[in-house]
Structure 1
């Protein structure tokens, strides 16, 4: 199936072609037509399956630039995800000149207010900043045609349930509601069915992280010797681009400082870093100006960066899901990937759980230290 068969306009197809997208993914094939037709849709799809374009393309098709009102609103749990959605929307804007407002914490509210005094057609926002605008009466959602709740499971997990419900109450009752989520747990279903009309459910089979295309290793060490072990591995592998995961913001800070001192080209990413700096870091990493991104799970949620061939788990993840989610950022789209997990004696039980779940005993990597 191609975008033409999905009834997408030639201008949008051309923009997609320029960005190297010629064939719709499974979630796009199943969602675009019903969304274009105005149906409520619940879609279960992971990051990396093309879900953002699955709602952005039909939203762009349905927005009328001549109508001076907010016609579509996309609510996302994190600033990183809001930035990524905005970047994709800005590319589609070449095909259809609509006014887009990105409203998330860390962006200057003054400039947002100034932009709002013009006519905005599409808003991409995090819950807190959007409620701020609604309280100030700077955003009017009474003529809203489409509401998207993206990463709904994450939104609820991060405690945004009340904020989401407060936002929904401000919208037009006749609106179309789209709910995209990596997992359809009972909380997401409850929220969805309370506010949706006869939704169509789209389930994209979870892409089993194709572990066959990812080479996995474990390095057994101690917490005291872990830094030396990591540096030895980095020197041996010298990857083009890699993400190094730590358990906490403090561990990210300490490791980044230590690696900088040792002369590695690295930057850190976690929620305490101011927004403008985070955007700069992400841009530099995407452009491969930074070799190593040191991050927490939360900061890396929703990052879909091509070219990451190596993932290093400096700290063991807290769950099997988290491990699979982390290593699934490599070995994408048929590329081979490499991942290395550093464990100290207290991590052995967690490692056994991971190995049991993935039905694979991860080979040990021996280091000459």
Structure 2
């Protein structure tokens, strides 16, 4: 079959429509309304009419603009759940009707949660299949019957080879964060999964950027896909306009003190601090806790239970500072993150976009602060030029520099330790650790497969293997 790429780039002037205005099952519309979601974001409003009509889609939008419901609503609209008209007439009731492939465990949890929310008034069975957890519960869930499978490529491939996962009746396939899967080396696994699904499937691919390899895969596996590029008319930069960008040239020995003072800015809510290495992430989190902050860490040296404990504590507000490495933090989707801090200069502009995209989500405002070491200046210059930030020479900044008070709205007289009167959060220990029957707890990088076969999910970038904290 000849496959071509049909492109329709567009921007949305205003979104006045509600989900009820589209040809969506009323149960889905009501479930979203129950969660306070009535009006779609631009990427959703542009995607829904095309996806609901069954056309393949390449959706391109900045991180944090609402891609999950852009594919989730059409996917759920097509699924027939147990007890609904037509379920008994399916070719294989209980086999997956939809497949969502994501690059990381955290993103799998987030996407599955959003799908569960949108299908809360139906009996759709959503099963998560990803590494770091025991195989047996996932196998049991698949054997009991499933309608939608959400997971990471490595564990899915394992389940496919062991014949626990049958994709021969899948009608909808979604590839989310395709550029991330390319970065993590997952494209061969993704192609294996696609080959196991029917050729007549409905395919939707979503990505913040469109590298050549992703476009080539789209040409090969999609039928005349519509390329939807969503952006606001006054937001033509690569970064989200709602995010204030602040960049400082900071000294390594002063960073923790500078960070501790910044964390006392007026109006600061949940904050994610990105570190380049696992060792640095753990060290910074420990130092912040010692200074009185409610902080937790998420990195590859932690088992899946500890990672999910930290993420739950962060979502529930028991900790308000999450220190994370890039690989571990891909897919963290918490809407009320007010600040993102790059404790070390990102590797490149794509990493910068993914990190800063953790704030300013769903139309909210956010602040992104980046610390650049002296020896990282050449790297920062390339990032600044690629993204057009207009900050080629970050100002030399110390914890005592007066300009940080006005830049970040920090009260006068703040020191690098949180006063006892402000230490009101419960802390990480207040969130229980689940016993997940974890595999490969720490001989590999907390991978997608057992320890004997390290996973690509946790393949560290160059900075993880060398650099600060070595």
User: How high is the TM-score relative to the length of structure 1?
Assistant: 0.91
Matches of residues 1-369 of structure 1 in structure 2 within 5 Å? 1-65=17-81, 66=87, 67=90, 68=93, 69-205=95-231, 208=237, 213-235=242-264, 239-333=268-362, 335-356=364-385, 357-360=388-391, 367-368=399-400
Q: 1:29 to 1:219 in 2, by over 3 A?
A: closer
Are the equivalent residues in 2 in contact too, given 1:47–1:302 (CA < 8 A)? no
Tell me the equivalent position of 2:429: none
Are the equivalent residues in 2 in contact too, given 1:56–1:89 (CA < 8 A)? yes
Moved more, 120-129 or 317-326: 317-326
Are the equivalent residues in 1 in contact too, given 2:62–2:239 (CA < 8 A)? no
User: For residues 335 and 137 of structure 1, what CA distance do their matches in structure 2 show?
Assistant: 44
Displacement of 1:38 in angstroms is 2.1
Displacement of 1:295 in angstroms is 0.9
Displacement of 1:244 in angstroms is 1.0
Post-superposition Cα deviations, 1:291-317, rounded to whole Å, max 9, x if no partner, equal: 110011222223221221122221111
1:156 aligned counterpart, secondary structure: helix
Are the equivalent residues in 1 in contact too, given 2:129–2:151 (CA < 8 A)? yes
1:311 aligned counterpart, secondary structure: strand
Are the equivalent residues in 1 in contact too, given 2:299–2:325 (CA < 8 A)? yes
Displacement of 1:353 in angstroms is 4.0
Aligned residues: 369
User: How high is the TM-score relative to the length of structure 2?
Assistant: 0.73
1:202 aligned counterpart, secondary structure: strand
Structure 1 or 2: more helix by fraction: 1
Higher relative contact order by CA 8 Å / sep ≥ 6: 1 or 2?
2
Gaps of 5+ in 2: 1-16, 82-86, 402-470
Are the equivalent residues in 2 in contact too, given 1:316–1:347 (CA < 8 A)? yes
Post-superposition Cα deviations, 1:208-259, rounded to whole Å, max 9, x if no partner, equal: 3667654444444322232233233334668332111111112112222222
Are the equivalent residues in 2 in contact too, given 1:217–1:363 (CA < 8 A)? no
User: For residues 9 and 119 of structure 1, what CA distance do their matches in structure 2 show?
Assistant: 22
Displacement of 1:327 in angstroms is 2.8
User: For residues 171 and 334 of structure 1, what CA distance do their matches in structure 2 show?
Assistant: 36
Q: 1:211 to 1:155 in 2, by over 3 A?
A: closer
User: For residues 211 and 315 of structure 1, what CA distance do their matches in structure 2 show?
Assistant: 21
User: For residues 164 and 211 of structure 1, what CA distance do their matches in structure 2 show?
Assistant: 29
User: For residues 144 and 211 of structure 1, what CA distance do their matches in structure 2 show?
Assistant: 35
Are the equivalent residues in 2 in contact too, given 1:218–1:365 (CA < 8 A)? no
Moved more, 314-323 or 356-365: 356-365
User: For residues 151 and 91 of structure 1, what CA distance do their matches in structure 2 show?
Assistant: 21
User: For residues 154 and 113 of structure 1, what CA distance do their matches in structure 2 show?
Assistant: 27
Post-superposition Cα deviations, 1:89-139, rounded to whole Å, max 9, x if no partner, equal: 111231221122110012221111111222211111111111111111111
2:20 aligned counterpart, secondary structure: coil
Displacement of 1:355 in angstroms is 4.6
User: For residues 34 and 218 of structure 1, what CA distance do their matches in structure 2 show?
Assistant: 40
1:54 aligned counterpart, secondary structure: helix
